[in-house]
Amino acid sequence: MLGDNSYVLRKLHSLTGIIPLGLFIMEHFFINSFLLQGEEEFEGAVNFLHRIPYLWVLELLIAAAFVFHAGYGLYIVFTGKSNVGRYGYVRNWLFLFQRITAVVILVFLIVHVYTLRFSDLEITYAALSQALSSGFMVAILTLGVLATVFHLANGISTFLISWGITIGLRAQRFFGYASLFVFFVLLLVGINIIRLFG
């Protein structure tokens, strides 16, 4: 049945970038933004998340999708050869940034998940604020947010092309700008979270 499955793998890679990874990032930013309402609200939101039924299934799905997207993504990164020096068009730069941010995200997320999820750190505002407030941590988080937000925003517009949804110049350009908008919105939300923890 799966003779040459490269097509399925490509499509799965593209899809996992949005569902569940893109959705997860949005959820992650959303929950963290409860900090705007105060520490109790934030801890309440975190507690709510922890009480979701079948949470482990969701976590497993997201983790599996991430491993696949990152693994196959690295293969894609290594089979590309950027040439922005000779062909410095916007989409070509975006193509390069998509790959650079992919590698940055990979390194960042390993550190991020390891320090916050698989440590004995209690997820309370006080503990997090202490763990995240060093200048070094703020710099790492900012870089991580920048890379992730770019990768997701640009990924939305390339996703639409890859699935044959946006075909013409006008639609591709429209969603290019829409991605730019998503980029700035998510960036502001992300930076704000870092600021609130700091």
Which residue type does 110 have?
A: I
Asked if 145 and 7 count as a contact pair (C-beta separation under 8 A), the reply is: no
Distance CA 129, CA 196 (A): 8
Among positions 53, 54, 56, 81, the unique one binding another protein when judged by CB under 8 A: 81
Q: Buried b / exposed e across 74-112, counting CB within 10 Å, b at 16+? A: eeeeeeeeeeeeeeeeeeeebbebbbebbebbbebeeee
Among the listed ranges 39-47, 135-143, 150-158, 172-180, the one in contact with ligand HEM (CB under 6 A) is 150-158
- Residues in contact with another protein, counted by CB under 8 A, come to a total of 34
Distance CA 153, CA 151 (A): 6
Q: Please tell me whether residue 178 binds another protein under the rule CB under 8 A.
A: no
Considering only residues 88 to 127 of the shown chain, the ones binding ligand HEM according to CB under 6 A are 98-99, 102, 105-106
> Position of tokens 């410095």?
88
- What is the widest separation between alpha-carbon atoms in the chain? 54
Contact partner, 129, from another protein, ligand HEM, none, Cβ < 5-8 Å per class: none
CB of 32 to ligand HEM, least distance (A): 15
Among positions 50, 51, 54, 89, the unique one binding another protein when judged by CB under 8 A: 89
CB of 92 to another protein, least distance (A): 5
Give how far Cα 166 sits from Cα of 13, 23, 55, 72, 121, Å: 18, 21, 35, 24, 44
Q: Please tell me whether residue 95 binds another protein under the rule CB under 8 A.
A: yes
- Please report, as ranges, the residues that interact with ligand HEM according to CB under 6 A: 14, 17-18, 21-22, 25, 69-70, 73-74, 76-77, 98-99, 102, 105-106, 148, 151-152, 155-156, 158-159, 162
- Please report, as ranges, the residues that interact with another protein according to CB under 8 A: 1, 4, 6-8, 10-11, 76, 78-83, 86-87, 89, 91-92, 94-96, 98, 158, 161-169, 172
